[in-house]
Structure 1
Amino acid sequence: MQAKPQDSHARWWPSSVTADSPASWNEPSQLEAYKMTSRPRGVCLILNNHNFAKAREAVLEQKNLKDRTGTDVDAAALTRVFSKLHFIIKEYRDLTAEQIRETVNIYRCKDHKDKDCFVCCILSHGKKGIIYGVDGQEVPIQELTTSFTGQNCHSLAGKPKVFFVQACQGEACQKGVTIETDAGEQDSSVETDARFQLDCIPAEADFLLGMATLQDYVSYRSPRQGTWYIQALCQHLEYSCPRGEDILTILTAVNQEVSRKSCNQNAEKQMPQPSFTLRKKLIFSVN
């Protein structure tokens, strides 16, 4: 007798309820969106470090950190886009490590109860889970993000906290020609932003951390055109937000665009990486 073919659905939908499954299954509901109607929406804090002369003057491991030429192009793009999205722009340039901490603490202590969101854009050199102040001193990125948890910033509890970090996460290059790194100069048209590492997002809900590149890899910056990541991010925000697209869809498009870029004939590559604990759709409405 020929065996009866097994129902393929039975392999995926068990008839009995197991210990780690709900007692009953409901139809999935439409994903709710975060409230994004306040005017202004909130603060967009830009920490823009360009001049690292203090670090080079110090007798430190980081004394050879180069100036981040092109970072002002990124800061201008972020200012333009987030102003259109109804955020208050607060840019701080060339901060030491202690000044970074002090600045973040100022906005941690502010009352955000009438705002819907908080955005922080960090443009600096970094290495292994830290960013550098212009004095070459280290600030753990997790220290900055954790400052805005519900426990540490009550008025942002339940609201999206968004961080965009332009910095490398390692020393490895994603296959291609040798270009300028922090150790030498082979191609002055593109540079890297030191070294950086992920695992910096708080375990608490409502955070989004947009990283310029994958862990262990470098990211690239043009002295004339800004960084691949921030420029693509701003272009896609400007194009897609008026169309009502959510931030994760936009960041996927950013991933696609940046991953297609390359340097010279051997095609050095870069792959951004978002990490998030968002519970709802995050849509930056322009209305």
Structure 2
Amino acid sequence: MQRNKTLLQSTLCGDNVLILNKVFEKKLITEREYNNLKSINKEDVEGHVIKLVDKIMNKGDETCQDFLHLLQTDEDIKTTYPKLKNIQLSVTRSLPLPIQASSSNEGGIQPNGLCVIINNETFMDGKVRRGTNNDAESLAKVFSWLNFRVLMCKDQTKDQMVQTLTCFASLRDLSQLQQLDVKEWSNDVFTDLQGDPQHGDAFICCVLSHGTKGVVSGIDSKSLSIQETITTFKATGKSPLTGKPKVFLIQACQGRQMQRGVLSEDLQADDSQSPFIPEDADFLVALATVEDYKAMRHPIDGSWFIQSLCEQLKERCPRGEDITTILHHVNNQVSLKEGFIQHDRAKQMPEVRFTLRKRLVLSPQAGSP
């Protein structure tokens, strides 16, 4: 964008209102920024466009990349600004290239990878996490639509969870899968495992359980550290997942406190390259709530976090949005929800952290999930 800034600005002056509206529709700017740009006084058309382009550039590489993609793909924009085709808009090396989680060969489309769900519903102390099966099915539907092979392990103790994670991290000893009673999502139901699983371009792990600060619980109420869960998949010279994105979605409380609502007006490194990557690279962990707080789950509809995640994936994956962008929308949607527990007003704030080195884009199959 820096190289072509002057050309872009002069070209987009042809209809400054259209490009402003398109940028807002794609959520590259906030509503407040949109209103501010729209109501600028004492500026000519060129001045409006200059301020818009500067605003985009100040938002960083990812927003710049999304803006260039918009200019290249939107039919209204291509029709309105035909001179854009004469401008070199290809993304330079300084911008992160996306990991497109989609593989194919002459035999047809292959699964992007595995989505493994650990779904703890009934605990040994008699407690039942009502609504969790709805979460599991929602995840299975959306990730199978995103061309993942979806497997589920139900009601596991802490040791069984460790065994499951260790098995799927390497897939070297597949005989363990029978002991773990792994089920597979097929024809809208969980059924017996259909053949040996294999790793693909990405790995998704969903843990649905109780939890406290920094841990999730087995059905025996023993705690498994979330950090230990992630460490199982660290990059090694022998791991089939080294260099591939590994996404962990954790639906579990992280404490006993209740989130309260507060009033708000408005809800670089060097370029040297190495053949080695850090062992902690390529992870994304999305937690239903921040530390010390509860995560809300409806006994019929399922949890706020998982249901919002599935909704946003269905809406935004067909648009080509990457997983971190989608999780920003999940964070916002969940933060706006409100419930009551024993007459107390309840809020929830998910947390996302990642070491992904590239954008992860999940490509859906044709049709609805």
Pairwise same-fold verdict (TM > 0.5)? yes
Alignment of structure 1 residues 1-20 onto 2, 5 Å: none
Task: Find the counterpart in structure 2 of residue 215 from structure 1.
Answer: 291
2:234 is aligned with 1:149: yes
2:95 is aligned with 1:30: yes
2 CA distance for matches of 1:35 and 1:240? Answer: 15
1 CA distance for matches of 2:294 and 2:279? Answer: 25
Q: Secondary structure at the match of 2:325?
A: helix
Residues 163-203 of structure 1 deviation map (CA, whole Å, 9 limit, x = unaligned): 00001112221226xxxxxxxxxxxxxxxxxxxxxxxxx97
Task: Find the counterpart in structure 2 of residue 87 from structure 1.
Answer: 148
Shift of residue 152, structure 1, vs aligned partner: 7.7
Structure 1 residue corresponding to 2:223, chosen from 119, 124, 138: 138
1 CA distance for matches of 2:335 and 2:121? Answer: 25
Task: Find the counterpart in structure 2 of residue 24 from structure 1.
Answer: none
2 CA distance for matches of 1:48 and 1:280? Answer: 29
Shift of residue 35, structure 1, vs aligned partner: 3.9
- TM-score by length of structure 1 reads 0.74
- TM-score by length of structure 2 reads 0.58
> Amino acid of the residue matched to residue 121 of structure 1?
C
Alignment of structure 1 residues 1-287 onto 2, 5 Å: 29-38=94-103, 39-52=110-123, 54=124, 56=125, 66-110=127-171, 115-151=200-236, 154-175=239-260, 204-264=280-340, 267-286=345-364
Q: Which has the higher contact order (CA 8 A, sep 6+)?
A: 1
More helix by share: 2
1 CA distance for matches of 2:335 and 2:237? Answer: 36
Do the aligned partners of 1:113 and 1:156 also contact (CA within 8 Å) in 2? no
Structure 1 residues 273 and 114: CA distance shift in structure 2, 3 A: closer
Q: Secondary structure at the match of 2:357?
A: coil
Structure 1 residues 203 and 259: CA distance shift in structure 2, 3 A: farther
5+ unaligned residues in a row in structure 1: which ranges? 1-26, 58-65, 177-201
Q: Secondary structure at the match of 1:34?
A: strand
Shift of residue 245, structure 1, vs aligned partner: 0.5
Residues 236-262 of structure 1 deviation map (CA, whole Å, 9 limit, x = unaligned): 001100110011110011111101100
Shift of residue 113, structure 1, vs aligned partner: 7.9
Q: Secondary structure at the match of 1:156?
A: coil
Structure 1 residues 283 and 139: CA distance shift in structure 2, 3 A: same
Structure 1 residues 113 and 124: CA distance shift in structure 2, 3 A: closer
Do the aligned partners of 1:147 and 1:153 also contact (CA within 8 Å) in 2? no
RMSD (CA atoms)? 2.1
5+ unaligned residues in a row in structure 2: which ranges? 1-91, 104-109, 173-196, 262-277
Shift of residue 29, structure 1, vs aligned partner: 2.3
Structure 1 residues 128 and 142: CA distance shift in structure 2, 3 A: same
2 CA distance for matches of 1:215 and 1:118? Answer: 25
Equivalent pairs, count: 226
1 CA distance for matches of 2:209 and 2:237? Answer: 24
Structure 1 residues 96 and 84: CA distance shift in structure 2, 3 A: same
Residues 202-237 of structure 1 deviation map (CA, whole Å, 9 limit, x = unaligned): 971100000101122111000011000000000000
Do the aligned partners of 2:114 and 2:198 also contact (CA within 8 Å) in 1? no
> Amino acid of the residue matched to residue 141 of structure 1?
I
2 CA distance for matches of 1:91 and 1:45? Answer: 6
Structure 1 residues 72 and 113: CA distance shift in structure 2, 3 A: closer
Which structure has the larger Rg over C-alpha atoms? Answer: 2
Residues 122-145 of structure 1 deviation map (CA, whole Å, 9 limit, x = unaligned): 000112222111111221121111
Do the aligned partners of 2:205 and 2:247 also contact (CA within 8 Å) in 1? yes
